[in-house]
Each structure stands twice: as structure tokens, then as C-alpha cells.
Structure 1
Amino acid sequence: MTEYSVIDDFSRFEEACRTLAAGTGPVAVDVERASGFRYSQRAYLVQVFRRDAGVFLFDPPAVGDFAPLQEAIADVEWVFHAASQDLPSLRELGLEPAVIFDTELAARLLGHERVGLAAVVEDTIGITLKKEHSAADWSTRPLPESWLEYAALDVLHLIDVRDKIAAELEEQDKTEYAAQEFAATLAQPPRPPREDPWRRLSGLHQVKGARNLAVARSLWEAREEYAQQQDTSPGRLVPDRALVAAVLASPQSKQALAGVQAFNGRASRSELDRWWKAIVRGRETEDLPKTRVPSDALPPPRAWSERNPEADARLKAARPAVEEVAEALHMPTENLLKPETLRRLAWTPPALTTDAVAGALEALGARPWQIEHTAQKIVDAFVEAAQSPDPALASES
């Protein structure tokens, strides 16, 4: 078994970068985080492989400045499996590819039944990977040898997989589809910060009234502040359900809060003062949150027949038409066209011409290859729905 070591010294890091720069072909890149353990989504290990160079495992907190790696590999293709998961963490380190190849996304376009890394590696080159450390705490130091082997194998075979997948794309005439999808992944802007992120508390729907919502918000903010200070995942300190339980119990004293059985978690008692002060702040604030928040989210399709029967008819006509195209292309429907895109088009349709629908699809983020395959089909379906004597009788999806 090959023994791997983590590079946590800058001089060794620079030497590794020179070796990678002298390698040949694309580079395989992967990132390990400590999701569920740490507060941030920062990278705690970066793995890089290049032919004629080898595998290198870098320790981001120890290395610090990743500029030499960016310089060494910036002008070559970076190969990922599920690039959208790793790009944000890499960008925090100043690592930005010019061109990418995503084996997971390509496998979807090819219609592979299994698209996880281990499955794609096995299906394409016949090598079985062990995936027992995927949910590990990668902020652990020192990292166990078995973890390092797992991390190295995530990139060691990825270039061979890329070559097999690229050949499949060529055979199915999907090379251009994949190129457009890769470019879209790379160009995807960072998600803007959520407005009122505390509203994502699991179980918050049980909390009624603006004052109680203010208490829930205050507890969430107190937990967030403490989690950031401790660099710990908030849910590991006090789970969402415990915060909601504290709001619902409406304790009248710190001691009463301590007596709420469902208010648990490793910091629920050790930081009792913090949580009680948060409850008091929530009860005293004059800045009460709205009990209902405006949203541009569409109603669930099951409600369309009553709320917008014409849109319901359009969706029920277009959905199977798009599914038929996806089936002919041997790929999941959601990779041909996002369900949300079709729903928005059906809810607020443009003029029923190919150019107008194509423009609307483009505005909603569809790629040229997707528009080419779906625009006319959607026009035909929408026209059919409009000609139906009773939208409620439109064909079921």
C-alpha cells in the first residue's frame, strides 16, 4: 500500500507545485471539508493529481498562500467530480480554474444510472473505491493514514475516468452539451446571503406569533455567533429542534429553561446564560419580524388546477413532451431542463413562438443545447394546451 503524507510546510509545497507544473495533461482536483463539524465550509485538505507528477495532499490552514499552486496549474484543465461542491472552497484559497471537466455531471448527461464517484470509477475503469471516510471530520490533525489513502484515491484515477467519459461523450455526440454545462458551472456566481436565514430553522413552522418568532431569531443569532467563535457547526452545539423547543416551552426563568428536557445539545447547559439572554432580547425587542414573508416561489403544482388552470394545462402538456426528449437523449429530464425552469415558463409564458420561448429559456439560465432541444416542443405543448376546450381536462403528467 502506498503511504501518503500531508504537505504542511511551505517549502515542500513550493516544490510540489514545481513538480505539478512539469507534469502532463489535465489535473484532478478534490477538496475535503469538515461539514457538520466546523462552522465554515473551508477546505481542510486539497488533493491534486497530474500524470508524470503524482498525487499531492495539501493542508490549507498550514500552507496559507496557494498562489504557487494557482500559477502552476492555472492554464490546464481541472478535472472534478461534482465541481460545484468544491469550487467555492477552492476560490476561498485563491484557486480558480480556467477550464473544467466534471465527471459527475458528464455521467448524468450520458445517462449513467449511478453517478457517485465510486460508482463512476467502477463503471468506467473497473476499480473499486472504498468510501468509508466521506463524512469524516477532515479538520482532525494528524489525519489517519487510512483517511489519506481515501483522499488520494479520490484523484488518483480521475484522469483515467475523465478520458473514458470524454470518449463516451464523443460517441453519443454530447461533447458540446458537456462543454456548455461545464462552462455554466464555472460561471455560476456565488449564492447571495439568505435574507432572514434564521427562518430556515427546522420546525419553525410550529412557532406562532411575531414575538415568539423574535425569540427564535434571537436564539438562532446567539447560536450562530457562538458557533462562529468556536468554529463549530451550529447544530452540534444546540440542534434546531432544541431551539424551537425552548421557544415553544416559553420558560419564565433561566432555571425553567434548564428544566426544558427537549432543550438539549452539548452547549445547552454550559452556555445557559447565553441562551437565556437571547430569549430575553427576543422578548424585549421592538424589531418584530413579519409572520409571513413575501416570496417569489411558485405554488406547488398540485395547487395549480385551482389557482391558475391555464398554467396547469400548459405544464401538464409540456412536461411529458420534455420527458420524451430526455428519454431519447438517454439522460435525466432535470439535466435536459430544470423542472423549475419549465414551471416558471408555464406559469408566466411568453408569446407562443419559438424565438420568444427560446429567449425566455435563456433568461431563466437554460444553455443553448437545452434550448435547441426543448423550445419548439414547449411551444407545441403550450399551443395544444391553449386549444383545449377545458384546461382542467388537459392530459395528466
Structure 2
Amino acid sequence: MTEEVAEEAVEQAPLLKLRDPHPVVMDDDAGLARAAAAIKAGTGPVAIDAERASGYRYSNRAYLIQIAREGAGNWLIDPIAMTSMAPLIDALDGTEWVLHAATQDLPCLGELGLHPAALFDTELAGRLLGYPRVGLGTLTEEVLGWRMLKEHSAADWSTRPLPEAWLEYAALDVEVLVELRDAMHDELIAADKWTWAQQEFESLLSFQPAVRVEPWRRTSGAHSVRTRRGLAVVKALWEARDDIAQDRDCTPGRLIPDSAIIAAALAEPASRGQLLGTKGFHGRGAKTYIDIWMSAIDHALTQDEEELPERTPRASGPPQPRAWADRDETAARRLDTARAGITAMAEANNLPPENLLQPDAMRRLLWEPPTTRDPGDLLDDVVGRLQWSGARPWQIAMTASLLTDAILSADH
């Protein structure tokens, strides 16, 4: 062992291990009842995590739920096997949840009828506190001094039975989550940011995933398709693939990758043989669903011109910032001034600029600002617009005057 490696080994944080014997997965209604009773009898916040099968399944459903609470221990629950989640819903009623990256888990937990009355998001707390990296493993090591292994984070959690090593990994995700919450709570108070955090956590209680408009346009490589007819092929193949993936509950890319869709759109094949012979058209489902792919392509190639998708979708908001100077020089000055102010204020408060104010909210306000230039009325209008955009009170208090000044100064 070299001297450098030896020194690194000495400085490495101790590996986090389970304090109690490895929890057994509760995979029937009787097991869920036992878990729920123990959790309900526990005290304090409840650490919760969920494992999905991203990259393997179409759905975003939870395939494993991990829960830990003081006095209750650490529990693993298989929601797929349950006829009803009612016992757990009752046990969690009125409790504070502790999650890491809550927006990832809240949707799949909500599908099971599990909704928090209050929550603490350790990832969001890390951002507000200015930690440069906010992954669970990094924060656990930085704040608590425990090292976590993350080797199974991309596993197929729909696998049954779940391997023993995966179960230990899953249980460790909630093993010290409440301790991490308590330590970060103290840090937020010491940094005078607890009110900010409370408002952020409150906003998460009504979180809903964004609905993508024309999601097929996010096909990787779509920018290389230059014709509307070619884009129609991209759209038709993407939608056909999505329908199959949803029916089979598998990730669309496991049927044919985005690159295969683009290859077909550029080639515009006229027969199954031409499609299968197209360079780049491949995938597990390339031959299996060849009739469906060809039908989609035929439909796109025979569509009336007026039905074809536009090359550039109609934007519902302001243009990209790089285009502002050409479109509206005054708006560009407003944006430059505001950006500089937001960046400086964020640095002074040790947090990322996007957590001080969402960039989209700032751009929408500055592209089409209120018409009044009376300083008092303008400030009132800016506050109202920020409230409408979903900005929290602490964000508005810190940025409304700055944005008002940016609007006024750009006009001169």
C-alpha cells in the first residue's frame, strides 16, 4: 500500500451499518399491519424513502417503501403485494415525514394514498445551507460523519425476490435520516434560514410533477431532423413506442432507443425491409414490433401538409436569454442587471441562485414587466407577479426590490 493510499484509508469516514438486525420485507397484509402498528407507536418524525424501477419500467410506482422511526425500528414494505395500504395511511396520519429529494418520491407515494401532513427535505435543506453537493451519501458523511455505499441506486427494484444486499442498501437509506434532519434543522436555525426552509417544505406539500407539452420533441437528436415530414415520423414512432411501453410496463428506450427513431426519420423508409436495413435502426423491439413501426411511419409519410408538426414549437414564455438582445435590448438590460443582483445576493447568503428565485419566474417577469413606472406601484406589481409565479414569501422579500430596480434602471 502506498503512503497516499494508506493516508486516504485512515481519513475515510466509517461505513454506516444497520443498528438492528436486517429487517424482513413485509409482503402481505398481516406484515403491513405489524409494521403499521409499530410505526404508529413510535415517536417523532418518520424517515421515508421509496425505490422505483427507473430505466426498467414505464410506471413510476414504488416497488419498495422504507420507513424508520424512533421506537419503531426500520421497516421494509412491498406495496405491490398489499390489498390495501390503509393501515400505513392511518399510522402516518399527522406525522412529519423526512425525505431526501422529496419531489422524486412524493408522486409514487401519493399513488398509494400516502400524503404527508408536514415534511422535511434533507436535499433541499442542503441547498439552502449552501452545501456544494447534496446527495444523501455526501450529506450523511459531511454532517454526521458516516459513509454510505450507493452501489444499488440504479437497480431494477421490480425484481422479486429482492436480493439480500439490495435490502440492506435500502434500509440504510432511512437508518440515520431523522438524525440528519435534526442536525440540519439546527444548522438552518443557526444560519437564520429556518423560516426559509419552513416555507419551502410547506410548498412541497402541494407538489405536482410538471406535465410536458409535446414530450416527443424531447427525443434525443430530434434537432438533426430538418423537415416537418421527418418530424412527423419522429412523433409517430415516439407515440407508438410509448403506447407499447405503457402496455408492457417497460422503459420506452428498451424497445428501440431514441437514435433508432431519428435514423428512421432521416431515412423515411417505404417498406419493412428498408426500415430493418436502415443503419442505426435497432433495439430489442425493432423486429418484434416491425409492423407497428412501419404503420406509424406510413401514417406520418401520408399525412396532409397542414397536419405536420411545426419545426419550432410555439413558445408559451419568453425567448431564450441569448436571443433577448436581438429581440428587445431594454429587456436584455433588465435581465443582465437582475441576474447580477440575484447572483450577488445568492453568494452573500450562501445558496444557489436558482433557490433564491426560480429563473423561469424571473425571465417571465422581466420579459413582460408591469407597465407602471411609479416605484411604489411597480414594486407592488412585482410582488403580485412573484406571488402568482409561486415564489415563497422569503424569496419575494429578498428579490422584489432588486427586480424593481432592474426594471427601472433598464429604461434609462
1:142 aligns with 2:142: no
Equivalence for 1:163: 182
> Which residue, out of 38, 46, 66, partners 1:47?
66
Query: Given the alignment of the two structures, is residue 378 of structure 1 paired with residue 378 of structure 2, yes or no?
Result: no
Alpha-carbon distance in 1 for matches of 2:402, 2:237:
50
The 5 Å alignment of 1:69-148 reads 69-148=88-167
Tell me, in whole angstroms, the C-alpha distance in 1 between the residues paired with 2:388 and 2:61. Answer: 32
Paired residue type of 2:379: T
Secondary structure at the aligned position of 2:307 is classed as coil
SS at match of 2:404: helix
Is 1:215 the counterpart of 2:238? The answer is no
1:57 partnered with 2:72: no
Question: Which letter does structure 2 place at the counterpart of 1:328?
Answer: A
Task: In structure 1, give the amino acid aligned to 2:380.
Answer: D
**1: CA distance between counterparts of 2:323 and 2:57?**
40
Structure 1 position 317, deviation (Å): 1.2
Instruction: Provide the secondary structure at the position in 2 that maps to 1:187.
Output: coil
CA contact (8 A) 1:3 1:145 kept: no
Give the match for residue 34 of structure 1. Answer: 53
Alignment of 1:338 with 2:363, yes or no, is no
Q: Secondary structure at the match of 1:256?
A: helix
Aligned partner letter, 2:174: V
Counterpart of 2:329 in structure 1: which amino acid?
Answer: P
Inter-partner Cα distance in structure 2 for 1:340 and 1:16:
43
Q: Distance in 2 between matches of 1:252 and 1:349?
A: 51
Q: Percent identity?
A: 49
Q: Does 1:317 align with 2:337?
A: yes
Greater alpha carbon shift after TM alignment, 373-382 vs 127-136 = 373-382
Aligned to 1:390: none
SS in 1 for 2:411: helix
Q: Which of residues 225, 242, 254 is equivalent to 2:243?
A: 225
Corresponding residue number in structure 2 for 1:15: 34
Q: Which amino acid aligns with 1:113?
A: P
Letter in 1 for 2:390: G
Separation in 2, partners of 1:370, 1:205: 36
Letter matched to residue 339 of structure 2 = R
Specify the alignment match of 1:308 in structure 2.
Answer: 328
Which amino acid is 1:66 matched to? M
Q: Distance in 2 between matches of 1:327 and 1:210?
A: 45
Cα deviation for residue 190 of structure 1 reads: 4.0
Instruction: Quote the Cα distance in structure 2 between the aligned partners of 1:85 and 1:195.
Output: 20
Contact 1:223–1:234 at 8 Å: present in 2 too? yes
| Aligned partner of 1:241 among 259, 263, 267 | 259
CA contact (8 A) 1:211 1:288 kept: no
CA contact (8 A) 2:127 2:351 kept: yes
Distance in 2 separating the partners of 1:379 and 1:196: 35
**Could you tell me whether the CA contact under 8 Å between 1:77 and 1:101 is conserved in 2?**
yes
Q: Is the 8 A contact 2:137 2:148 kept in 1?
A: yes
CA–CA separation in structure 1 for the residues paired with 2:302 and 2:347 = 58
State the 1:289 CA deviation: 2.9
Q: Which runs of 5+ in 1 are unaligned?
A: 388-397
TM-score (structure 1 length as normaliser): 0.93
Q: Could you tell which deviates more after superposition, 177-186 or 276-285? A: 276-285
Match of 2:368 among 348, 352, 367: 348
Q: Which moved more, 1:371-380 or 1:95-104?
A: 371-380
Q: Which amino acid aligns with 1:356?
A: D
In the alignment, residue 130 of structure 2 is paired with which amino acid? G
- Aligned partner letter, 1:161: L
2:199 and 2:347 map into 1 onto residues whose CA distance is 20
Deviations 1:48-89 (A, max 9, x none): 111110111111111242121111012110000110111000
Relative to structure 1, is the Cα distance of residues 285 and 385 closer, same or farther in structure 2, using a 3 angstrom cutoff? closer
> TM-score if structure 2 supplies the norm length?
0.90
Which runs of 5 or more structure 2 residues have no equivalent in the other structure? Answer: 1-17
RMSD: 1.6
User: In structure 2, what is the Cα distance between the partners aligned to 1:21 and 1:177?
Assistant: 30
Aligned 1:232-271 pairs, distance under 5 A: 232-271=250-289
Is the alpha carbon distance of 1:128 and 1:267 closer, same or farther for their aligned partners in structure 2, counting shifts above 3 Å?
same
For residue 146 of structure 1, report the CA deviation from its aligned partner: 1.1
Which moved further from structure 2: 165-174 or 289-298?
289-298
Kindly indicate whether the alpha-carbon contact (under 8 Å) linking 2:241 and 2:252 is maintained by their aligned counterparts in 1.
yes
Conserved 8 A contact 1:121-1:127:
yes
